[in-house]
């Protein structure tokens, strides 16, 4: 085979691999309930997001959150947006830090632990910037365990609801995984 043709075929093979690697094979949608203030109406008896460090400096345009605030999180994950009516699918466990001096932007580091359905016992790890006021935030998925071992891909986060009086939020999460 002529050398040039061999080279061209080799390049095609590499391009093909890259395309395969980028394709996602699994789409998961679920909702994360971030309850800072517990109440009967929030559906949570105890707060699931607790500020463990109070940030050093007030944020401009944000009367509540401070640069440096750190929250420990053990948020329930459900199939639908209504915490009370919807089946549990797991927990989001980790932390978030208000990591910008100028915006309400987090560093979110959490493991999604699935406890029902096809992915029961599997986990997915996310580590990312989360600009909470943006309509859609893209977060990289950096790994997984069990049936989702070695998962890569990304998650799209949308704020389904937010209550400024309680600081409670429900997030819609779409994960596109390559497993
Ligand atoms: C998930 O897996 C655990 C451990 O195998 C099992 O005890 C539990 O019943 C499962 N949960 C569901 C909802 O299937």
SS3 65: strand
Q: Is 87 in the pocket of ligand 1 (CB under 6 A)?
A: no
| Contacts of the segment 112-116: beta carbons below 8 A, 24+ positions apart | 112/77, 112/173, 112/175, 114/77, 114/89, 114/90, 114/148, 115/88, 115/89, 115/90, 115/91, 116/87, 116/88, 116/89, 116/90
| Cβ neighbours of 37 (radius 10 Å) | 13
Percentage, residues of the chain above pLDDT 90: 75
Phi, psi of 54 (to 5 degrees): -90, 125
- Ligand 1 centroid–CA 111 distance in Å is 18
Centroid of ligand 1 to alpha carbon of 118 (angstroms):
10
What pLDDT, in 10s, does the model give residues 142-157?
A: 999 999 999 999 999 9
CA of 43 to the centre of ligand 1 (A): 23
Residue 158: count of CB within 10 angstroms of its CB = 14
**Which among 170, 143, 166, 168 has a CA at the least distance from the CA of 155?**
143
Strand, helix or coil at 50?
A: strand
Is 60 exceeded by the pLDDT of residue 18? no
| Backbone angles phi and psi of 160, in degrees to 5 | -75, -45
Nearest to 101 by CA among 58, 164, 146, 51: 58
* Residue 117 alpha carbon, nearest atom of ligand 1: 14
CA distance 32 to 63: 24
Q: Which domains, and CATH codes, for the chain? A: 25-178 (2.40.480.10)
Q: Which of 120, 146, 147 to mutate for ligand 1's pocket (most ligand atoms within 8 Å of CB)?
A: 120
Q: How far is the CA of 172 from the centre of ligand 1 (A)?
A: 24
Length of the chain in residues, anyone? 179
**Atom 5, ligand 1: residue with shortest CA distance:** 121
**Best residue for ligand 1 mutational test, from 115, 117, 122, 123 (most atoms within 8 Å of Cβ):** 115
pLDDT given for residue 9 in this prediction: 47
The ligand 1 atom at the shortest distance from the C-alpha of residue 115 is: 1
Asked whether the beta carbons of 50 and 93 are under 8 A apart, the reply is no
Name residue 73's beta-bridge partners: 49, 94
**Per-residue model confidence (pLDDT) at position 61:** 86
State the pLDDT at residue 147. 95
Ligand 1 atom with least separation from CA of 120:
1
Which pTM value belongs to this model?
A: 0.85
User: Quick one: pLDDT band at residue 41, thresholds 50, 70, 90?
Assistant: confident
Report how far ligand 1's centroid is from the alpha carbon of 120 (Å): 6
């Amino acid at each position: 085979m002529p050398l040039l043709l061999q080279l061209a075929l080799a390049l095609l093979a590499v391009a093909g691999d890259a395309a395969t690697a980028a394709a996602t094979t699994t789409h998961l949608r679920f909702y994360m309930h971030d309850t800072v203030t517990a109440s009967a109406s929030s559906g949570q008896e105890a707060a699931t997001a607790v500020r463990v460090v109070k940030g050093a400096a007030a944020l401009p345009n944000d009367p509540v959150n401070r640069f440096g605030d750190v929250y420990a999180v053990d948020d329930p994950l459900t199939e639908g947006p209504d915490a009370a009516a919807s089946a549990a699918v797991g927990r989001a466990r980790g932390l978030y830090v208000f990591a910008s001096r100028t915006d309400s932007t987090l560093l979110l580091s959490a493991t999604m632990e699935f406890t029902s359905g096809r992915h029961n016992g599997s986990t997915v790890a996310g580590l990312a910037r989360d600009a909470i006021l943006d309509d859609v935030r893209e977060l990289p998925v950096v790994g997984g365990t069990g049936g989702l071992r070695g998962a890569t891909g990304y998650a799209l986060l949308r704020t389904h609801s937010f209550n400024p009086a309680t600081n409670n939020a429900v997030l819609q999460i779409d994960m596109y995984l390559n497993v």
